[in-house]
Structures are given as structure tokens and as C-alpha cells.
Amino acid sequence: MKKLIRIGTRESQLAVWQAVHVQKLLAQHGFESELVHIKSEGDIDLQTPLYEMGVQGIFTRSLDIALLSDKIDIAVHSMKDVPTQLPKGIVQAAVLERASYKDLLVYKGNINFLNDFNSSAIIATSSIRRKAQWLNRYPNHTLENLRGNVNTRLKKVEESNWNGAIFAAAGLERIDLRPEHSVELDWMLPAPAQGAITVVCKEGDDYAFDACQHLNNEPTAICTKIERDFLRALLGGCSTPISALAEIKNNELIFKGNILSIDGKDKLAIEKRVSIKDTDGLGDKAAYELLNNGGQKIAEGIRNGGK
């Protein structure tokens, strides 16, 4: 018997776009659904930097609670916001085909400073990962904190004295807000699972799980699992200067990962190429190799708050 699937979503424009996208995909497979809007702590507190809030899953916890208390049947998340360890009683039901994984700089004025590693500029981002990679490349730049939904952040850039701010390309492109004055940062490795959307449901809810399985994109699911395994094996949290990207090309999986100190001064990177048949455990293996080759010291420094 067909049931109405209640889709939980945060209230931001991007979150709603993602939920509507899942709703349309479910409809293509004959499933009816409705949206249920849930406020998240990450949307309410727009002052505290994410990494100071001390909570994994700051954008997902409210939806998790709604799921476990039977207010919704499925929740839709930007996968990079989801803790590597899902709450007890919640399971991954689908990973949608990935959009762009890239970070981009929305800039003001000219961007000559990008070609001079000794230049001075003010760049805004709330991401500890982006800050570390930026300072590693541009040690003389000043990094400012930038919070809020996509629309709020774009407005702050316009009204500020900043030279630019860093955004996820997928977020801006999905809601047609990517400005002309933006440039992709091809040198910057993304957050694990950046650009991917995941759908979760309650364990034991076979109807919701089976419905969402129609939306699952296997290549994206494989790549994001490896990236998130790498993150979990290194430190586990999403507010860490850890980046990872797995891509499948010609039956080969190419993995790149790195870990940086919070101030960007120390950096260790790793790259692996394996047959698509040999991807099991790759994220863990890459993480342990990195830890054994000097990454342990950087990881301990991050755990101690960069001291």
C-alpha cells in the first residue's frame, strides 16, 4: 500500500531546493510526498563560528530528532554536513548523483592577488578547512568569519570591505545564485562528500528506504563513502581542516586527501589510484598511511585546538 512520505528539510533556500529535488525524483518513481520544515540550530545561531559550536551535525540534529520522533519519514541533507557516524536508529537510504564538488571564490574588484602568494587580502569563510588551505597558499591574507545561509553570505560580501568569500559551487549553482564575479578554486580540495545530497530514514522503515533506493547513485555512493571513511579515520568531525576527493575514471578510482594544521602552516597530502574492484577500505588505508607519515602530529594539534 502506498503511503505519503513526509520529507524533513531545513528552511534555507538551498535546503528546500534539495528537498524539492528529492520530492520530484520520488514522484518520477510513483511515490507521493510532502515537505515538513524543521528549524536547525545551525540556522538559528548565525554568530558563532561552526567549529566553536562544539557539535557534530549542527545542521542535521534537529532533523534527526524529528525523524526519530516520527514527525517525518525521511530527511534530506547536504552530505558534507552529516556526521560520519549516523545517530543510532537512522540509516542512509540514498546518495544522489553528485553535482560540482568545487569551492569557488566570489570576489570584489580585481583578483590579481590570487596570482601573488605574498599578496595581502581579506577573505571570508566560516569553514576551518577552507581557512587552513587558504592560509597555506596565501600566508599573508586575513581570514574573516562568515556565517548564514547562501543569500545572507552573498549580501555580507557585497556590504563588506572583504576582497572575497569562499562558497561551495554546488550550493550557489543549485539555486541559480552563482555571481559572474566568481572563480573556481581548482587547487582547493573539497570537504568529504561536498556536492552530494544524502537521504536518511529511520531504521526498520522499509517503505521509505525502498522508495529512496530508486534515487541512489552508486558511483557517488562509493566515492563519498571513501571520502567520509578517510575523515572518520583521521578525526571524525566535519569542522576539521581535512579534505578528500574520490573520482571514478575509466574503471579506476583516484583518491586525493589532505590534512592541515589549523593555521595552515603544516600540510600533508596523499593520492591513491586503484582499480574500481579494489576500493574496499581505501579511505581507512589512506588515512592510516597519512597518520603514520606525520599526520598524527597534525591531528593531535587539531584536537588540542591548534595549540
3-state secondary structure at position 210: helix
81 is catalytic: yes
* Strand arrangement of the beta sheet that strand 33-37 belongs to: 33-37, 5-9, 74-78, 197-202, 90-95
Tell me which H or E stretch contains 105. strand 103-107
Rounded to whole angstroms, how far apart are CA atoms 32 and 10? 20
Q: Starting at the edge strand that comes first in sequence, how are the strands of the sheet with 252-260 ordered?
A: 242-249, 252-260, 267-275
Q: Which residues pair with 199 in a beta bridge?
A: 76, 94
Rounded to whole angstroms, the Cα distance separating 227 from 244 reads 5
Grid cell, residue 76, equals: 534530506
**What Cα–Cα distance (Å) separates residue 110 from each residue in 106, 143, 144, 182?**
11, 18, 19, 11
Exactly one of 81, 103, 205, 229 is catalytic; which is it?
Answer: 81
Separation between Cα atoms, residue 19 and residue 40, nearest integer Å: 15
All 3 cell numbers of residue 82? 552529516
Report the 10 Å Cβ neighbour count for 303. 12
C-alpha grid cell, residue 54: 562544539
- Give catalytic residue positions: 81
